[in-house]
């Protein structure tokens, strides 16, 4: 496109230089001939189709002629002014760049959501760190924005939902153990150890003791495994707290039963 403009400007410059060598009468006659031929062509062809180089040349030449002489152009003065404005705008207008950070790719977005869903305990900074290990640089704010757009809650809420889902899916294989105390009429405190089958809410009272030590608790869970007999293989998980009464021997009884 640039070379076509140079060629066209060079050719027109040579033609203008040739006109200066002619006399005033000859130039006036030639102009009349050219205008008549142009009017004839317009009647036959209608509005001509101009290339960008033609627009540039006509817009530039319009600035060399006084406004009253613009009747020689086959377009209106408003059109010439519009072409000239576009010419100036093309010179001084720079490509527009949107502010802020460039958007991340769709593959990175899907990877962020996948890491968050498959690892419910990972927060936005942990996800950011894992992406950095893969060679993907994003900010923690970008990770948070992607999670919000993907309707993925923060890590604590995702972990809670995962725990609830686990309990619902594994309820038939869960045993939950706990204890509570009872004060008698003689101000004696007794401790009750019980186990509940989570799926059916069936409660097994294992024993009552004023001094529930490790050996006593271990013996109670051993009795429970014997009471369950053929049903013990249904249970895979045993939930308990971190009380010191639950010793390694207590866990070994459960492990021997496959729980």
Residue 3 in this model has a pLDDT that exceeds 60:
no
For residue 206, give every residue at least 6 positions away whose Cβ sits within 8 Å of its Cβ, in sequence order, or none.
193, 194, 195, 220, 221, 223, 224
Query: What percent of the chain is modeled with pLDDT above 90?
Result: 22
Name the most confidently modeled range: 74-88, 112-126, 189-203.
189-203
Q: pLDDT at position 246, please?
A: 92
Task: Show me where the domains of the chain are located.
Answer: 2-92, 106-152, 170-256
**Two tokens at 98?**
């949107």
Q: Is residue 197 a contact partner of residue 234, using CB atoms and an 8 Å limit?
A: no
This prediction's pTM:
0.40
Query: What percent of the chain is modeled with pLDDT above 70?
Result: 58
Of residues 159 and 121, more confidence is placed in 121
pLDDT band at 184 (very low <50, low <70, confident <90, very high): confident
Name the burial class of residue 193, with classes exposed (0-12), middle (13-18) and buried (19+) by CB atoms within 10 angstroms of its CB. buried
For residue 112, give every residue at least 6 positions away whose Cβ sits within 8 Å of its Cβ, in sequence order, or none.
127, 131, 138, 143, 146, 147, 150
Neighbours of 38 (CB within 10 A): 14
Distance in angstroms (rounded) separating the CA atoms of residues 186 and 201: 32
Q: pLDDT at position 213, please?
A: 93
Task: List, as one string, the DSSP characters of 86-132.
Answer: HHHHHHHPPPP--SSSPPPPHHHHHHHHHHHHH-TT--HHHHHHHHH
């Amino acid at each position: 496109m640039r070379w076509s403009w140079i060629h066209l400007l060079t050719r027109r410059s040579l033609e203008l230089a040739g006109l200066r060598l002619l006399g005033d009468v000859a130039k006036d006659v030639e102009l009349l001939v050219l205008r008549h031929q142009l009017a004839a062509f317009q009647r036959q062809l209608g509005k001509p189709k101009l290339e960008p180089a033609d627009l540039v040349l006509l817009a530039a030449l319009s600035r060399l002629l006084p406004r009253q002489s613009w009747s020689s152009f086959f377009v209106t003065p408003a059109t010439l002014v519009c072409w000239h404005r576009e010419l100036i705008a093309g010179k001084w207008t720079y490509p527009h760049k949107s502010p802020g950070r460039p958007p991340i790719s769709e593959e990175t977005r899907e990877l962020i959501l996948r890491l968050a869903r498959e690892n419910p305990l990972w927060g936005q900074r942990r996800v950011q760190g894992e992406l950095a290990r893969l060679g993907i640089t994003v900010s923690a704010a970008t990770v948070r924005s992607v999670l919000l757009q993907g309707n993925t809650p923060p890590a604590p809420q995702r972990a809670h939902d995962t725990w609830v889902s686990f309990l619902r899916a594994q309820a038939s294989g869960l045993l939950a153990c706990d204890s509570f105390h009872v004060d008698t009429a003689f101000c004696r405190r007794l401790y009750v150890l019980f186990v509940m089958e989570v799926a059916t809410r069936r409660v097994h009272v294992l024993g009552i003791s004023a001094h529930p030590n490790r050996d006593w608790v271990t013996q109670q869970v051993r009795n429970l495994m014997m009471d369950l007999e053929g049903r013990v293989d249904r249970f895979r998980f045993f939930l308990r707290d971190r009380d010191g009464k639950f010793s390694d021997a207590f866990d070994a009884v459960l492990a021997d039963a496959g729980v």
